Amino acid sequence: MVTRAEIPHFGLLSGVKVVHNTVSIAGPFAAELYAEYGADVIWIENAKVPCMSRVATGNAWQQDRRNQRNLSIDISLPEGKEIFLKLMEDTDVFISAARGGQYEKMGLGDEVLWERNPRLVIVKISGFGQTGLPDYMNRPSYDPIAQAFGGYMAMNGFPGMPSMPTNPLTADYMSALFAFGTSVAAVMKSRETGRGESIDLAQYEVLMRTQSRYPMDFLEQGIPFVKEGSHSAYFAGYGTYSCLDEKEVYMLYLGAGVLKRGLPFMGIEFGTEKIPSSTNLLYLSSSEGQVLEEKIKAFCQSHTAEEVEKAFLANGVPCSRIMDYNDCLKDPQYVAREVFTQWKKANGEPIRGVNIFPKFKNHPAKIWRGAPNIGMDNEDILTDLGLSEEQIKELYAKGVLTQRDYINNI
């Protein structure tokens, strides 16, 4: 157990307090970014049912709940609700994951929370939003559902084949980034004006917003998106290629500078009548594009992926081996930038995972504790709210609070 006074002061968000009552990925990851950048983050976990991330997502909870404190409480009970409201009084950001109107039904709508803390920033993450048609607001949703409804899944897969979700969990992690960024902006405004904000984040809308030009192409010119699979449907030298060692590379012949060096490497003259010096790309449908494709395939099939990567990079063509985790662990750039790191679980055992990014020069982030067990910080948090030892014991007896070890090893 760590008291609030013992939380180390570090990072860009030291002095910010965040509470989240979320499960799975999106909400917890938004809160995790706060925790890694120095905020005091309290994870409210249902006293009756542990967060599904502890059993359904392998080690994700160990990585995406580090630096957080845990309060396992039933806020549907009167005593739990009152503790929750008291907790809001000095909280900067509250992040929830609930269908439209769920907190209002519990008597915990925005206005109720703002009565306790007018400057509170409230973030509501849901699949379909907090407003609109009731039938949609009440729909259950997870990452692939948001991808399906948000038009994202229809863009992924191979032509003529079933659509597929992008992995891992694009809707969840994109939503987390939007939730984090917008709530930080809202905290800045709240500290300026003393007035909080309520952010309604629908996952399917996040996915629609991050589809580049394609929605506009359809709205303005009626151009439908065409699935591309592992290779551009339009451009030569733009996609995945198999190599001699049965590994793969991805490259892009894109830009006049790339073509100027990369085409002669493949024995194709640049700056001619057919390929003027102003050319930025070659179309697959052109004879020149087909020649480039065949030459790239032949080169890749006679060289290993590492040899292909080095050769094309040496000739100015953006190219990378398609890395698996074994490749990443051995790659010198991964090692040099310490992409993987180690910290301690709640029980003191070491565990390895991905480090904190991006890197900060003047206010570095840090990992100061592992993911907490269920109710690990109950006493500390409630004592800080002014509850006595006897009152806390009574809450345990009533089932408002719970506490137990829960470390899942897959």
- Nearest-angstrom CA–CA distance, 15 and 182: 18
- Nearest-angstrom CA–CA distance, 42 and 91: 10
Mean pLDDT of 183-190: 98
Delimiting residues of CATH 3.30.1540.10 domain(s) in the chain: 238-329
Closest to 202 (Cα-Cα) out of 147, 135, 120, 121: 147
Q: Which fold has domain 238-329?
A: formyl-coa transferase, domain 3 (3.30.1540)
What one-character-per-residue DSSP string does 192-217 give? Answer: HHS--EEEEEEHHHHHHHTSTTHHHH
Closest to 53 (Cα-Cα) out of 32, 38, 80, 35: 32
For the stretch 28-48, pLDDT in tens is 999 999 999 999 999 999 998
pLDDT of 111 higher than 90: yes
Mean pLDDT of 190-198: 98
Q: Say what percent of the chain tops pLDDT 90.
A: 91
And the tokens for 115? Answer: 């009565």
Mean pLDDT of 317-345: 97
Q: Say what percent of the chain tops pLDDT 70.
A: 98
Phi-psi region of 14 (alpha: psi -120 to 50; beta: other; left: phi over 0): beta
405 among known catalytic residues:
no
Exactly one of 40, 92, 143, 172 is catalytic; name it.
172
Q: Which amino acid is at 255?
A: G
Name the average pLDDT for the chain. 95
- Nearest-angstrom CA–CA distance, 180 and 95: 9
pTM for the predicted model, two decimal places: 0.94
Residue 406: pLDDT band (50, 70, 90) is low
Q: Which fold has domain 4-210+339-398?
A: Rossmann fold (3.40.50)
Q: CB under 8 Å to 188, separation ≥6 — which residues?
A: none
Peptide bond into 28 cis (omega under 30): no
Closest to 241 (Cα-Cα) out of 186, 293, 185: 293
- Nearest-angstrom CA–CA distance, 11 and 18: 15
Taking 3-state DSSP, the helix, strand and coil percentages for the chain, each rounded to the nearest 5, stand at 40, 15, 45
**Quick one: how many helices (H) and strands (E) in the chain?**
18, 11
Residue 5: pLDDT band (50, 70, 90) is low
- Nearest-angstrom CA–CA distance, 196 and 193: 8
Closest to 250 (Cα-Cα) out of 276, 232, 267: 232
Mean pLDDT of 201-217: 97
- Does residue 27 or residue 405 have the better pLDDT? 27
What pLDDT does 56 receive?
74
For the stretch 147-166, pLDDT in tens is 999 999 999 999 999 999 99
What pLDDT does 410 receive?
44
For the stretch 120-136, pLDDT in tens is 999 999 999 999 999 99
- Nearest-angstrom CA–CA distance, 364 and 343: 16
Longest dimension (CA), the chain: 87
- Nearest-angstrom CA–CA distance, 10 and 5: 13
